[in-house]
Amino acid sequence: MTLRIPLFLLALCVGAPALAQPSAQPAFEQGYSAYEAGDYASARQYWQPLAEAGHAPAQYGLGLLHANGQIAGHDDVSAVSWLRKAAEQGEAGAQFNLGMMYANGQGVPRDYAQTAQWCAKAASQDDADGQYCMGQLYANGDGVKQSDEQAMQWWRKAAEQGHAKAQNRLGELYAVTEGPLRDNAQAVHWLRQAAQQGLPVAQNNLGTLYLDGQGVARDPEAAMHWFRRAAEQGDADAQYNLAVGYDFGRGVARDISQAVAWYRKAAEQGYAKAQSNLGALYADGDGVGRDEAQAVAWWRKAAEQGHPRARINLGVMYAEGRGVPRNLPVAYALLGTARLPEDLAGYRDRLAAQMSRAQIAQGRKLEADLMAAGSGAQAIRRVDRALDAAPR
């Protein structure tokens, strides 16, 4: 298992606007109380006149109401307009959120350079979200020159303020980077900080370090503890890791029924490895009633995501007519999309010996389609639709 580095996808902050300065009009504070109570229409009534008069916190709040669709009509353009007004007056939260609007292409064209500009302004005011944003941008080279060193510096600033996502990303970078930046002890420290705040991805990552003995003494039981905490929050990676633990008795007593349950939770979230393993359990009747049609169904889902072993297993099922009508060209095509393991060496050649020239030609055409499309969902579905047309 390896640490999971999340894709760069910044979400709009949905937190309430910062409290106004002590001199702020009572109307803002009344609007803020309404906002906290979920009465967004009243919040807007209090804030609109203030915002139009140039009150930055009210402009920020009004921008959030529009951006989050908390008042009638989701209006990203108006959100950008109000956030910009507040941001230009130095409201750090508005600066960060305006950066997010540019990152997500909401109300404005996507523009990471603008994201960097506004997040930098927020970060310079010690805004932890802005600092986290700058770390993300430097890690991915979006709007700035890619730099792990800069990413680490910004994430550390946010992490030291208790920002859980920054703590997780900082820990991940210490764990997976090569060269002088790598520091397994620091990885454990920061991942633990985030995990103890309840962040599922950090809990899963910390469990991975315990399982591998990276930066800590190898401790499968501790690994399973953290995997469970993340899995119970719906983290698919952790659900899969927990299932593997139960499947093979790592850190817990082997319990195939628990393995099935956790594989299923991850599989239903579209996790390809879990789908592949769940298919194998159905094929073998291990922990569930033997059901080759279910095995095929789960392997097909995994194959649609490009999982190599699932494509191979699906090919074998087509070759042998198990759980699906026997179809040699389809089997030939699927088996040609991945390197066969030792236990299946020569299987495709033996299959070809049973096929006519027309069948082999059809199989090669289907294989080319699959390879061109990366064995994705549409390509697998085309193979399914080819069943009636393909010579068997």
Residue with tokens 């299959």: 351
Q: At what angle do helices 184-196 and 164-176 cross, to 10 degrees?
A: 160
> What pLDDT does residue 7 have?
28
Q: Is the dihedral of CA 339, 343, 349, 355 positive or negative?
A: negative
Tokens standing for residue 166: 């920054």
Residue with tokens 């393991």: 341
What number of other Cβ atoms are within 10 A of residue 186's Cβ? 18
pTM: 0.86
Cα(209)–Cα(184) distance, rounded to whole angstroms? 9
Residue with tokens 């609109």: 48
> What pLDDT does residue 20 have?
47
> What pLDDT does residue 379 have?
55
Cα(140)–Cα(115) distance, rounded to whole angstroms? 13
pLDDT tens track for 105-164? 999 999 999 999 999 999 999 999 999 999 999 999 999 999 999 999 999 999 999 999
> What pLDDT does residue 299 have?
96
Q: Across-strand partners of 376?
A: 305
pLDDT tens track for 67-119? 999 987 778 999 999 999 999 999 999 999 999 999 999 999 999 999 999 99
Cα(330)–Cα(324) distance, rounded to whole angstroms? 11
Counting as low any pLDDT under 70, the low residues of the chain are 1-24, 373-392
Q: Across-strand partners of 145?
A: none
Cβ-based burial of 238 (10 A; exposed 0-12, middle 13-18, buried ≥19):
buried
Q: For 367, phi and psi rounded to 5 degrees?
A: -60, -45
Instruction: Give exposure, 92-126, as e/b (b: 16+ Cβ within 10 Å).
Output: bbbbbbbbbbbbbebbbeeebebbbbbbbbbbeee
> What pLDDT does residue 81 have?
97
Q: At what angle do helices 128-140 and 148-159 cross, to 10 degrees?
A: 160
Tokens standing for residue 307: 């999982």
3-state helix, strand, coil in the chain (%, to 5): 65, 0, 35
CA distances to 26, 29, 114, 129, 161 from 20, rounded to whole Å, are 10, 7, 26, 19, 22
Tokens standing for residue 280: 């194998």
